[in-house]
Amino acid sequence: MKDNVKRVFYVRYVAHPCYLDIIAQRPEIRLDKLENDAVDAAEPIITAAHAYQIGSARDELAPRFHARRELLVRMPNLLVVSTNGAGFDTVDIKDCTDAGVLVVNQTGGNAEAVAAHVLAMVLALSKQIIQTNHALRRGTMRDRTVFMGNDVKGRTIGIVGIGNVGRRIAELCRGLLGMQVIACDPYLDEKTIAARGAIKVTLDELLRRADFVSINCPLDESTRGMIGAREFALMQPHAYFITTARGFIHDERALAEALREKKIAGAGIDVWDKEPPPVDHPLLQFDNVLATPHTAGMTREARANMGRIAAEQLVTTLDGKRPPRIVNPQVWPAYAKRFEEAFGFRPAG
């Protein structure tokens, strides 16, 4: 007879305490917590684990706990890796797929928060709120007309990746602000993008036309380094670059150079190669850069939503049902076979 205990662990924290409350309602699920510095104590827990609830912020999770081959070989029973957020920087999708491990994320759970953050950056940049704030605090305000802003009505926002977050940005910018919306997304056709409130264009066309460029795609091998010196050179001198996606999608040095040479008007940056960035980071030296420390998706409501979605999806998965947010669907046959070997029945779907 198969052991009915389903073992789950996490490192440091989960998205919200409601995650713990939901899991606690299922007595057959054992949930263990580890710390980043756990070594000997971690081994029996990870060896027995069927599921790993993993943090999405790579710099908050010790590299030894990133879901890569080195860790996976020590986890023979692992079936599922579930991220705390929409991103999966801490997960090597290929390594998990090769190991027959299903990866799920919580995409859409913080879409409202991230879209509002992008909207705030659009308004703050266009109205030069950052510069006037600095000038007032430094006592250097002399002529307020120097900080003349621009209306956003009728301007064009280009959205790179029009998924859950991107479509909400499109809705807000078009409906609330009266902006034109164009989008680049290689996974969606023209009709689908139109249904999400935008006109489909290529990346190069988007960069040439947009007054605001918003990056909202996941970080993977196809998007790593996607925005570099060539791409910034395509943008208009009055345009703004905004990213709330993931570090490493854009080249930070190339962005600093574009700002230094006034090839673009400014930037709103929420994600960094190293998080948080050091105080002497070149991009933090520009008054026309609005910088936040990967907080776009952090609202009380979003965190509660992410915790609830993560717990409910993991319970669904461990119950033998097909979860709704699979990152690597190609692994399903291998995963289903391993699930049956572990629990004595094959998952549905």
Residue with structure tokens 């291998």?
A: 334
- The single residue of 16, 246, 250, 308 carrying the catalytic annotation is 246
Q: How crowded is residue 330: how many other Cβ atoms within 10 Å of its Cβ?
A: 10
Q: What Rg do the C-alpha atoms of the chain give, in angstroms? A: 22
Beta-bridge partners for 53: 10, 82
* C-alpha closest to that of 245 among 91, 90, 88, 140: 88
**Beta strand extents in 80-162 (DSSP E only):** 80-83, 102-104, 156-160
C-alpha 103/C-alpha 92 separation (Å) is 10
3-state percent breakdown (helix, strand, coil) of the chain, nearest 5: 40, 15, 45
- The single residue of 275, 312, 325, 340 carrying the catalytic annotation is 275
Q: What is the distance in angstroms between the CA of the first residue and the CA of the last residue of the chain?
A: 24
**In contact, 8 and 51? CB cutoff 8 Å:** yes
Beta-bridge partners for 158: 182, 213
Count of residues for the chain? 349
Active site residue 26: no
C-alpha 249/C-alpha 212 separation (Å) is 17
Active site residue 281: no
Concatenate the DSSP letters of all residues of 46-96 into one string.
HHH-SEEEE-S-GGGS-GGGSBSHHHHTT-TT--EEEESSS--TTB-HHHH
Active site residue 28: no
**In contact, 310 and 51? CB cutoff 8 Å:** no
- The single residue of 117, 294, 303, 338 carrying the catalytic annotation is 294
Q: Which positions are annotated as active-site residues?
A: 246, 275, 294
